[in-house]
Amino acid sequence: MKLARGLSRILNLVEKMSLNEAKRIAAHRAVNEWVKTGTAVGIGSGSTVVFAVERLAERMKSENLNVACVPTSFQARQLIIEHGLQLSDLDRNPQLDVAIDGADEVDNGMVLIKGGGGCLLQEKIVASCAENLIIIADYTKNSKKLGDQYKKGIPIEVTPMAYVPIKQHIQKCFGGSLKLRMAVAKAGPCVTDNGNFILDWEFASEKAYNWPDVNRDLLMIAGVVETGLFVNMATKAYFGMSDGQVRTQERNASI
Ligand SMILES: O=C(CO)[C@H](O)[C@H](O)COP(=O)(O)O
Residue 162 DSSP symbol: G
Residue 63 appears among annotated catalytic residues: no
Q: What is the pLDDT of residue 3?
A: 73
pTM of the model: 0.94
Return the ligand 1 atom nearest residue 23 CA. Answer: 12
Mean per-residue pLDDT, 173-197: 97
Return the ligand 1 atom nearest residue 228 CA. Answer: 1
Residue nearest to atom 8 of ligand 1 (CA): 116
Among 19, 20, 47, 141, which is best to mutate for testing ligand 1, by the most ligand atoms less than 8 A from CB?
A: 47
- Could you tell me the pLDDT band of residue 191, with boundaries at 50, 70 and 90? very high
Higher pLDDT residue, 255 or 194? Answer: 194
Q: Is 116 in the pocket of ligand 1 (CB under 6 A)?
A: yes
Q: What is the pLDDT of residue 129?
A: 98
- Could you tell me the pLDDT band of residue 6, with boundaries at 50, 70 and 90? confident
Spatial neighbors of 7 by CB under 8 A, at least 6 apart, are none
- Could you tell me the pLDDT band of residue 16, with boundaries at 50, 70 and 90? low
Q: Is the ipTM of this complex over 0.95?
A: yes
- Could you tell me the pLDDT band of residue 13, with boundaries at 50, 70 and 90? low
Give 64-96 as a DSSP string. ----EEEESSHHHHHHHHHTTPEE--TTT-SSE
Q: What is the pLDDT of residue 8?
A: 75
Mean per-residue pLDDT, 226-242: 98
| Segment (H or E) for 106 | strand 105-106
Distance in Å, CA 105 to ligand 1 centroid = 9
Q: What is the pLDDT of residue 255?
A: 42
Q: In the beta sheet, which residues pair with residue 69? A: 41, 87
> Helices 163-174 and 211-219 sit at what angle, rounded to 10 degrees?
150
Q: What is the pLDDT of residue 254?
A: 44
Q: What CA–CA distance (Å, rounded) separates 243 from 235?
A: 24
Q: Is 253's pLDDT higher than 60?
A: no
Q: Is 14's pLDDT higher than 80?
A: no
Q: Is 46 in the pocket of ligand 1 (CB under 6 A)?
A: yes
Mean per-residue pLDDT, 105-112: 97
